[in-house]
Amino acid sequence: MILTTTDVIQGAVIDSYLGIVTAEVVYGSNFLRDFFASIRDVIGGRTGSYERLFEEGQRKALAELEQRAQKLGANAVIGIEIDTGTINVDQSGVLMLITATGTAVRMR
């Protein structure tokens, strides 16, 4: 399975467009991660725990995107876009959302 952010794959011919596929990964907040991130906010620098979280989330979202495309009979997903956001649950919690979207295609 080819996953790409481009809308064409050099040398490939798209036989059919099978539809848009989307995958979502949602993570809850974590007290320790939030605490250490707040320290970084004060002293500056990168927040490794959140960077690792988003890296893992992007990998999981792409893996889910691939599975959903395979169910449609695709052998590639083109035009992939990854987006991140938050969902406010209440005054004490935020969920982190990572979404991957692309077009499932069958190509030769």
Task: Determine the average pLDDT of the residues in 77-105.
Answer: 89
pTM, whole model, 2 decimals?
0.78
**Closest to 50 in 3D by CA, of 7, 103, 98:** 98
**CA–CA dist 95, 108 (Å, integer):** 40
Domains belonging to the chain, first-starting first, are: 2-106 (3.30.110.70)
- State pLDDT tens for residues 8-46: 999 999 999 999 999 999 987 654 445 545 555 545 556
